Amino acid sequence: MQSFEFLMPTHIIFGECTEQRCGELVKAYGGSRVLVVYGGDSAKKSGLIDRVTQSLQDSGLAYELLGGVHPNPTLSFAQKGVEQSVKFKADFLLAVGGGSVIDCAKAIADGSPTPDYPLWDYWSRQRPLTQALPVGVVLTIPAAGSESSDSAVLTNDTTMVKRGLNSPLHRPRFAILNPALTYTLPPFQIACGIVDMMMHTMDRYFNPICTNQLTDEIAEGLLRTVITNGKIAIENRAEPHAMSELMWAGSVSHNGLTGLGNQTDFAPHQLSHELSAKYDVAHGAALSSIWSSWARFTMDTNPERFAQFGTKVWGIDGTGKTAVQIATEAIDTTEAFFSSLHMPVSIPQLPCGKLPDDILEELATRCTYYGTRTIGSFRVLGHNEILAIYTMANKT
């Protein structure tokens, strides 16, 4: 096991009606002027925003609202949020929504203390992030795990470049997880969340370090839980137990616990980021469209790892089979599971459709940051390997 440090300071408040504690929690973590960030009209129509703001009022807190965050949050919107935050003199950001809303709130929190600096300087690594306003979360979509992670993802809508930024300053002070808030989610959004939380775990599981028993057991158990309850939730999104399990699994999948002592890979995430940046594809859909091609391309690096994934996660009977046979079956089974959720498993199944060769070349070039980096650790991928995976995924 590699050396590691793990600090997950986010205060998790799980259960029904917990959004009514927003004011109490913001106040406990030092907030007095709160910028409430949310997405579309559903948060308002459902009465959630009213309940949140009533809680803030009851605690004597000033607040302003900033709605309209879209999936794949953009730099321009986050910059607009920074301007509002500074004008309002906010000292606390409260995200009410899923991963996109939370990531946007984190970006606003990053830029608010230093509004004279371009916000993208932090994402492009031109300037280190040394301060940020505190963030709290009311989670409405079990998926990205941003409610307890140290990461945020932002798309520069001028250059169409999508980047992630990890920082301890991104860990929210608290995260309210009320599974009842998820009962009206569309099936596609639930399916995207299932893929995302699985991928956050699998991108840590498939790495060069394969000797960490406890970390593997946590990851495998989380994946089994998501698979079992994901099937139930797709059929009945108001099933309390299934949605509760998914909400907690999503948070654990990205707080770092499932990869302790390992290296991380995240090549499928990097590959999918280029698709969602260029075509505004839903994050979960981009991931499912690329994963099986990545897996088939890299499987021979360590087929035993994929075989373990097959037997421990999918329950494949390996009797009389080689590691390669079990590994192949594991990849096929994962792909079939994504298909059963009505998720795309190739690029032509995405809204952008089958892509011409020159676009695949562009995606590969952008994924390497124009030849300045490789991706992955399970198998290190350069431009040619990345292009080969995109080409595989582009077949009908």
Q: What is the mean pLDDT of residues 293-308?
A: 98
Confidence of residue 196 (pLDDT cuts 50, 70, 90): very high
Cα(338)–Cα(26) distance, integer angstroms: 38
Cα 87 from chain centroid (whole Å): 30
Task: Report helix, strand or coil for 257.
Answer: helix
Sorted by sequence, the CB contacts under 8 Å of residue 389 that are 6+ apart come out as 271, 290, 293, 294, 297, 381
- What are the strands of the beta sheet with 62-66, ordered from one edge? 11-14, 174-177, 135-139, 92-97, 33-38, 62-66
Contact present, 26 and 61 (Cβ < 8 Å): yes
Is the pLDDT score of 396 beyond 80?
Answer: no
Cβ–Cβ contacts within 10 Å for residue 284, how many?
Answer: 30
Closest by Cα among 134, 179, 162, 116 to 34: 134
Percentage with pLDDT > 90 across the chain: 97
Q: What is the mean pLDDT of residues 26-52?
A: 96
pLDDT in tens, 128-187: 999 999 999 999 999 999 999 999 999 999 999 999 999 999 999 999 999 999 999 999
Cα(213)–Cα(132) distance, integer angstroms: 36
Dihedral angle of Cα 5, 145, 267, 322, to the nearest 10 degrees: 90
Percentage with pLDDT > 70 across the chain: 100
Task: Report helix, strand or coil for 142.
Answer: coil
Q: What is the mean pLDDT of residues 375-379?
A: 97
Is the pLDDT score of 109 beyond 90?
Answer: yes
Sorted by sequence, the CB contacts under 8 Å of residue 62 that are 6+ apart come out as 32, 33, 34
Query: What pLDDT is attached to residue 146?
Result: 97
Query: What pLDDT is attached to residue 237?
Result: 87
Cβ–Cβ contacts within 10 Å for residue 244, how many?
Answer: 21
Q: What is the mean pLDDT of residues 1-29?
A: 94
Task: Report helix, strand or coil for 93.
Answer: strand
Is the pLDDT score of 41 beyond 90?
Answer: no
Residue 208 is which amino acid? P
The boundaries of every CATH 3.40.50.1970 domain in the chain are 11-181
Query: What pLDDT is attached to residue 386?
Result: 98
Largest CA distance in the chain: 68
The boundaries of every CATH 1.20.1090.10 domain in the chain are 188-393
Is the pLDDT score of 1 beyond 80?
Answer: no
Place of tokens 């996660």: 313
Sorted by sequence, the CB contacts under 8 Å of residue 371 that are 6+ apart come out as 365, 383
CATH of 11-181, one of 3.30.950.10, 3.40.50.1970, 3.30.530.20, 3.40.50.2300: 3.40.50.1970
Q: What is the mean pLDDT of residues 331-351?
A: 98
Is the pLDDT score of 40 beyond 90?
Answer: no
Q: Which two tokens stand for residue 327?
A: 């590994």
Residue 188 is which amino acid? F
Cβ–Cβ contacts within 10 Å for residue 300, how many?
Answer: 11
List the CATH code of the domain at 188-393: 1.20.1090.10
Contact present, 316 and 310 (Cβ < 8 Å): yes
Confidence of residue 279 (pLDDT cuts 50, 70, 90): very high
pLDDT in tens, 237-276: 889 999 999 999 999 999 999 999 999 999 999 999 999 9
